Amino acid sequence: MEKQKLFSSASHLSHSSTSIISRNSLLLLITLLVFLGVFLPLFLFPNTYSPSSSSLPSKWDDYSLAKAAKFVAKNGTLIVCTVSYPFFPFLNNWLISVTRQKQQDKVLVIAEDYTTLYKVNSKWPGHAVLIPPALDSQTAHNFGSQGFFNLTSRRPEHLLQLLELGYNVMYNDVDMVWLQDPFPYLEGNHDVTNICSCMIFLRPTNGAKLLMKQWIKELHAQPWSKSNKGNDQPGFNWALGKTAHQVDVYLLSQAAFPTGGVYFWYKTWVKETKGKHVIIHNNYIVGFNNKMKRFRQFGLWLVDDHALESPLGKLE
């Protein structure tokens, strides 16, 4: 009888131990699967991972344009760009060139999506702000597309807000590279100094504000359509024409601020104007990869070898 009890107890303990081991093994297996599912993609595909806005901290959600401008501005002046996440490498490339001229502290990045907002501010706190509504962070919008128009048509509204806050504002597209400091070329008290809508310097005057308001009107009057695949430049030109007698506009020298249609195509002209180039714009070419390839061909793609010069550092 006692042998049977001992056998029964041993059998019960054996089943209990087996059950506990099974439960522990199952929990361990589930934990391992969750870990691999979350972190393995980060190790295998580090460059393709892009966090959604819902998975990011909300620390910067209430960071307003007024707060950002106050934090970044130096001597009442800001250098502003607008960026969506697919063009992040171009932002970094542009920032390296700006940093070489010791002007990076004035840079305010207007992020067009939450991924850009959090990525910039995680590496360079306070230097990015998002003005709703946020755009899709995964699509690279090419020149002439509706997405490109939607992105660029917001520009005069952002600039007008900064002028209303009382700041001098330089705007740059990020497919540019600085070879010299442009600020010595912005002397005088002109309302607007520009080469095109992609490179503008504005003072917080009534004239500059009037031009921005007219630019906004022109863009609203000529929205993008399949038959009219416009961009912000024609609207800017029309606004300049309609305010010509009310706004003091100074046009920058093309020798100092050449377009891509000149700099990358006319080798003789480049040699004749050597030493005069200040900012190079990689326009008159469509497509992310085409722009990058051309910058590389001319030794202007800096992120490959000089990423640590950027305030954002090397992109992961």
Q: How confident is the model at residue 196 (pLDDT cuts 50, 70, 90)?
A: confident
The pLDDT value given to residue 173: 95
The pLDDT value given to residue 53: 40
Contact 119, 91 (CB under 8 A): no
Judge whether residue 152 has pLDDT over 70. Answer: no
Q: How confident is the model at residue 137 (pLDDT cuts 50, 70, 90)?
A: low
First to last CA, the chain: 71
Cα 227 from Cα 230, distance rounded (Å):
9
Q: What percentage of the chain carries pLDDT values higher than 70?
A: 73
Mean per-residue pLDDT for 229-251?
Answer: 87
**Of residues 20 and 90, which shows the higher confidence score?**
90
Mean per-residue pLDDT for 159-176?
Answer: 97
The pLDDT value given to residue 55: 41
Judge whether residue 6 has pLDDT over 80. Answer: no
Mean per-residue pLDDT for 192-221?
Answer: 94
Judge whether residue 57 has pLDDT over 50. Answer: no
Q: How confident is the model at residue 50 (pLDDT cuts 50, 70, 90)?
A: very low
Mean per-residue pLDDT for 224-231?
Answer: 53
The pLDDT value given to residue 295: 98
Contact 107, 127 (CB under 8 A): yes
Lowest mean pLDDT among 10-24, 50-64, 129-143, 244-258: 10-24
Cα 35 from Cα 48, distance rounded (Å):
19
Contact 291, 83 (CB under 8 A): no
**Of residues 153 and 2, which shows the higher confidence score?**
153
**For the chain, what is the mean pLDDT?**
82
Judge whether residue 1 has pLDDT over 60. Answer: no
**Of residues 44 and 216, which shows the higher confidence score?**
216
Judge whether residue 235 has pLDDT over 60. Answer: yes
Sign of torsion over alpha carbons 169, 172, 177, 179: negative
The pLDDT value given to residue 316: 72
**Of residues 259 and 39, which shows the higher confidence score?**
259
